Amino acid sequence: MRENLVFCDCDVIHGDVVEAARARMIDEGELYDLADFFKIMGDSTRVKILCALDAGEMCVCDLAVLLNMTKSAISHQLRSLRQANLVRPRRDGKVVYYALSDDHVRDIFEKGMEHIREVP
C-alpha cells in the first residue's frame, strides 16, 4: 500500500476503506469501456439521433432534415454510434437506413431520464 504514496500528494487517512474499495472495484478495462460507452451517449446530437431511431429506422437524409443538420455531420455521428454498436445500417439501393441495434439503449435512456427528472 505504501507505494501509492509515491504517486499521491497526501497520506492515507483510511487505509482499510481504500483497500476495501480497491477489492470491490470493477475490472479497470471494463471501467474504461463503460466510460467510453457513456461518452458516446454524452452528446446531444447523438442522443437526438438515438431518440429519433427509437421511433423506427431512418435514413441519413431523414435524420439530417429532422435535426436541421448536414448529412455529413449526421454521418460522422452515425459512424461513432455504429462503432459503439448502438445503431445498425441497412442499405437499400442508394439509401442507407439506420436502426437501434440494442434494447439497452432504451433502458439506459429511461434510467437517465429518471435521474434528471428527479433532481431539482
Q: Which of 33, 43, 107, 114 binds DNA (CB under 7 A)?
A: 43
88 interface partner picked from a copy of itself, DNA, none, CB below 5 to 8 A per type: none
Task: Tell the smallest beta-carbon distance from residue 50 to DNA (Å).
Answer: 13
Q: How far is the CB of 47 from DNA (least distance, A)?
A: 10
Residue placing its CB nearer to a copy of itself in the complex, 61 or 76: 61
Contact 77, 43 (CB under 8 A): yes
List interacting residues with a copy of itself (CB under 8 A).
4-5, 7-14, 17-18, 20-22, 24-26, 30-44, 46-48, 51-52, 54-56, 58-59, 61-62, 64-66, 68-72, 85, 95, 102, 104-105, 107-109, 111-119
SS (H, E, C) 38-69: HHHHCCHHHHHHHHHHCCCCEEHHHHHHHHCC
What gap in Å lies between CA 57 and CA 73, rounded to an integer? 18
Beta strands (DSSP E) in the chain are: 58-59, 87-92, 95-100
How many helices (H) and strands (E) in the chain? Answer: 7, 3
Rg over alpha carbons for the chain, rounded to the nearest Å, is 20
Contact set with DNA (CB under 7 A): 10-11, 13, 39, 42-43, 45-46, 59-61, 64, 69-80, 89, 91, 93-97
